[in-house]
Structure 1
Amino acid sequence: MSSIIYKIVPAALWQEARRTGRFNGAPIDLTDGFIHFSTGEQAIETAARHFEGQEGLLLVAIDGDALGEELVYEPSRGGALFPHLHAPLFLSAVLWEKPLPLGADGRHIFPELDA
């Protein structure tokens, strides 16, 4: 399993993280008490299910190994294990961030991902 995990986040929300050096989570993360991430294999389906038709998104790649014991893989959609961070995300663990534009078909166009 790759140690790279991904977060889909509105660019406007991510600006605050850039300013402070930490991301506390999107509203759903704050409600659930942890930051939701996806593996490379899960990211496209996550975008389709939870971000359909949304513009202004970023795909953020994170070094999961840098997150320590606070990163836990827990069962979610259909029993699949999803990475959840039970702490703030410090931007020192971010590998890169890229725009996640919509294609003509309304689906997000992803860069190549590490599965």
Structure 2
Amino acid sequence: MLLHIITTAGWDAAQSAGAVVPNEGDEFVHCSDRGVVHVSAGKFFCGQSGLLLLVIDPKVIEAPVRWEPVADSPLWFPHVYGPIPVAAVTEVHEFPAEPDGSFVLPDAVAVL
């Protein structure tokens, strides 16, 4: 299971296009797993609203998935080097920020 944080507008666009694609200027789609998604959320989305957490089946993705380290961190993150078909998304969860701007993994995802 891979996780991807996306705005509701971004998810609407992905559904229309049939895939989640890398952001402009990026060569891959940034993903996470349950153990590190809060790090990504806190660093890049602190306090933002209108976010969704996509649960993705990596077996449905044809693009290469590479687990890569992040500079100045002991953590590794999955990067998808190409589009993630909408069909690979098995669940979509609202991903609201807590009052302090941090994020908590939805219960439904925490037990997967």
Q: TM-score, normalised by structure 2?
A: 0.85
Q: What's the C-alpha RMSD, in Å, of the aligned pairs?
A: 1.8
Q: Distance in 1 between matches of 2:75 and 2:3?
A: 16
Instruction: Kindly indicate whether residue 67 of structure 2 is the aligned counterpart of residue 73 of structure 1.
Output: yes
Number of aligned residues: 109
| 4+ aligned runs moved over 4 Å, structure 1 | none
Higher share in helix: 1
Unaligned runs of 5+ in 1: none
Shift of 1:13: 1.2
- Given the alignment, which residue of 51, 64, 73 partners 2:45? 51
Q: Which residue of 2 aligns with 1:110?
A: 105
Report % sequence identity.
28
Describe how 1:76-91 pairs up with structure 2 within 5 A.
76-77=70-71, 78-91=73-86
Q: Deviation per CA, 1:74-105, whole angstroms, max 9, x where unpaired?
A: 11151422101111110111111111112233
Shift of 1:69: 5.7
Q: Which residue of 1 aligns with 2:89?
A: 94
Q: Which residue of 2 aligns with 1:34?
A: 28
Instruction: Kindly indicate whether residue 33 of structure 2 is the aligned counterpart of residue 10 of structure 1.
Output: no
Q: Deviation per CA, 1:5-36, whole angstroms, max 9, x where unpaired?
A: 100111111101112211113x3xx3221111
Q: TM-score, normalised by structure 1?
A: 0.83
Shift of 1:64: 1.6
Q: Distance in 1 between matches of 2:88 and 2:79?
A: 14
Distance 1:80 1:68, change over 3 A: farther
